[in-house]
Structure 1
């Protein structure tokens, strides 16, 4: 019934040029304090005014009543994989699903993500279907968040994200730059240029082994300094920022020194790595949700292949303690969940884990608004409810300063001025 109501409301607000949002509590993303009793004026997909009090509308203005809610900028998740989701059958699906199957299933993941309040995501690696999903959403053919995608991640031979891993010799193949696998600086340049040709917005590398790859090593470095420097240089040539999957500390340090934009996971980060991140201005995307998920599922017999279980139990469990140390040290934190490992739509659980580790609620929210927008180079468009910014707006019941868990209960979602979800709120014309 709620979904039906939301769908029926879509035409009403999609075609209203001006909408007033009456906000009981308002987190703008820039103000230090939460504002009360304000009106957001949305015109043609952007924030036109932020006014104290509840403005009275004219006949041509639609009003959405969010006086019982906390209203905040549309949320940004910097680490998702929109094409898939962990399950005991995930490893066999690469042999049984066609790209069309992947794409159609992913549309459901995209809708769940948007309805959870995440109006923008950064997809950090898939088959290339993620590029088509981005374009379909931008054209209005599919409902979902705004996607910035890395297309395929870049790995080294046998490394995490080498698509030929885990196959028998008959099915294995020698993957190269087209498949996102490189050996040496020249191939690094070609792989980045291929990602650009294929429509990527950013570059993702796997600087160390990974937990969920079908390989024993989950933490060793997998790129040389020269390869990393070539990847970062090539990405800069094409105006793309870079993200490095990294669990082990040596691969992490190499990536930071090379100029990587974000470190993903950072499970075994040490004091030296933290100091390097502060020195180089590197952002840390902790993905606590994924660490919790894999550590829990590794205890279920048969959920993961046997080679993965010890990695999931050790590395996954280390994330929250590492995150707390990095936060206390002053490393820049940006929000990311690794949804696709953890379930799509549960993204807001990351806020809960951050607050459990000692981050004040408003700071945790800021990692998914202002800071995440900075990483994407979209700080003039996203992450704030300020005049001129895109009207990406979400609302939750209650006050997240008192109970961060309400971030899991998003009741209202607007993306570029169009209402995508409007559950128990009232509206009037």
Structure 2
């Protein structure tokens, strides 16, 4: 049996995936996410991996085109989640996994997580920190080569932290296991090591840089919000990131850590729980995006109420911080801060990313703007708006559809019925 046949058989085990070259889609409602307009009765012509024509009316397919009837659906660009952890899922037993699972075990499991994410309509994700070393980068390569089916991945590799800070992988271990991980494993102290850590991520094949500039909820450390990077360290990271053309995302719950990061020139703030008015003013001034991750906040708050679900040092942080993220998002949106969609999937089960839309709309964001935050805004944050983010001629054919009108019922975004990525039909039911 040759390799091509073997790969085809493996892919068929995961689900239907049509890879015909040319399609003509009849879209009953097409969302123009850039201009926030609904276009009725449109045709989308796809050749290979790109959209070649978008026009009003239902065109007749050419001899070499397959007609895809989405007249009863709402069609939009593939969704993008700017904050996932594709290599794992936090649960009651996950804190011990690194002692019993190899990175290769995690990589095989991540294939399932990737497929769930894509089936949920998310054709592009930004992985902000691997739970198992090298898995997101390896998964990105395998998906790009067509070995497995999954979303397009922009991977940060190992998150960069300070000693004892959120994302120091040795937190909570016994003393002889703590040692000093150093920049190689993403733990820095001082500007020199900060630069070295960025260069190490470049060497390992990362696409973006992730910093944990304040304490965090799920790490085995006491403080969940204190600042953990100095201004000098942040300046060094951002300068090195610019040299290597990295987008920089920062995990942050406390306001002081956010302010230092924003002033240094980072591109996005994740979570933002204790964001204050001054932080919002700075974000607007510097054009910094806010990636809210409301779903993760709600999930950890719910699980914190279950005895022994999280370690003792984590439980009070989850109970205190989790419930606040949605209200912070509401204030930031109202203040005019730029919003890019992100969920922190991996903190909760992969594939449930669509819940975030409903949570955003619940506190005042219009439905169309919520969808825009996961398409056009995310494309701009990743600097790929010339390739993705809208359905336009010349762009990659990442297209999804839902039954009914999500602008009237955002729950529909949790049940995507059609998924196309790079001109290949992944899901159609």
Please tell me the TM-score bracket, short chain as reference: over 0.9
Structure 1 residues not aligned, in runs of 5+: 424-429
User: Which whole-Å deviations, capped at 9, do the CAs of 1:386-427 have from their partners, x for residues lacking one?
Assistant: 11110000000000111011001100100010001111xxxx
Q: 2:32 aligns with which of 6, 28, 31?
A: 28
Partner of residue 229, structure 2: 223
Asked if 2 retains the 8 angstrom alpha-carbon contact of 1:252 and 1:263, the reply is: yes
Distance in 1 (alpha carbons) for counterparts of 2:396 and 2:416: 19
Shift of 1:86: 1.3
Q: Is 1:183 the counterpart of 2:189 in the alignment?
A: yes
Distance in 1 (alpha carbons) for counterparts of 2:409 and 2:186: 43
Partner of residue 129, structure 1: 135
Distance in 1 (alpha carbons) for counterparts of 2:410 and 2:70: 18
- Structure 1 segment 309-388 matched on structure 2, within 5 A: 309-388=315-394
Asked if 2 retains the 8 angstrom alpha-carbon contact of 1:207 and 1:255, the reply is: yes
Q: Is 1:63 the counterpart of 2:72 in the alignment?
A: no
SS across alignment from 2:176? coil
User: Which whole-Å deviations, capped at 9, do the CAs of 1:43-89 have from their partners, x for residues lacking one?
Assistant: 11111111111111132210111111000000000000000001101
- Structure 1 segment 16-415 matched on structure 2, within 5 A: 17-126=21-130, 127-415=133-421
Shift of 1:4: 7.8
Question: Considering only aligned residues, what root-mean-square deviation do their CA atoms show, in Å?
Answer: 1.3
**How many residues in Structure 1 have an aligned counterpart in Structure 2?**
417
Compared CA separation, residues 170 and 412, structure 1 to 2 (3 A): same
Shift of 1:145: 0.2
Distance in 2 (alpha carbons) for counterparts of 1:273 and 1:333: 14
Shift of 1:170: 2.7
Shift of 1:269: 0.3
Structure 2 residues not aligned, in runs of 5+: 1-10
Asked if 1 retains the 8 angstrom alpha-carbon contact of 2:36 and 2:369, the reply is: no
Higher mean Cα deviation, 32-41 or 106-115? 32-41
Shift of 1:29: 2.0
User: Which whole-Å deviations, capped at 9, do the CAs of 1:119-176 have from their partners, x for residues lacking one?
Assistant: 0000000122111011111001111000001010000000000011111113222110
User: Which whole-Å deviations, capped at 9, do the CAs of 1:175-201 have from their partners, x for residues lacking one?
Assistant: 100000000000000000000000000
Distance in 2 (alpha carbons) for counterparts of 1:5 and 1:210: 38
User: Which whole-Å deviations, capped at 9, do the CAs of 1:218-248 have from their partners, x for residues lacking one?
Assistant: 0000000000000000000001010000000
Partner of residue 426, structure 1: none
Compared CA separation, residues 5 and 402, structure 1 to 2 (3 A): farther
Distance in 2 (alpha carbons) for counterparts of 1:402 and 1:70: 11
Distance in 2 (alpha carbons) for counterparts of 1:77 and 1:23: 24
Shift of 1:30: 2.5
TM (norm. structure 1) is 0.96
Compared CA separation, residues 327 and 121, structure 1 to 2 (3 A): same
Distance in 2 (alpha carbons) for counterparts of 1:143 and 1:87: 25
User: Which whole-Å deviations, capped at 9, do the CAs of 1:198-226 have from their partners, x for residues lacking one?
Assistant: 00001000000000001110000000000
Distance in 2 (alpha carbons) for counterparts of 1:170 and 1:403: 54
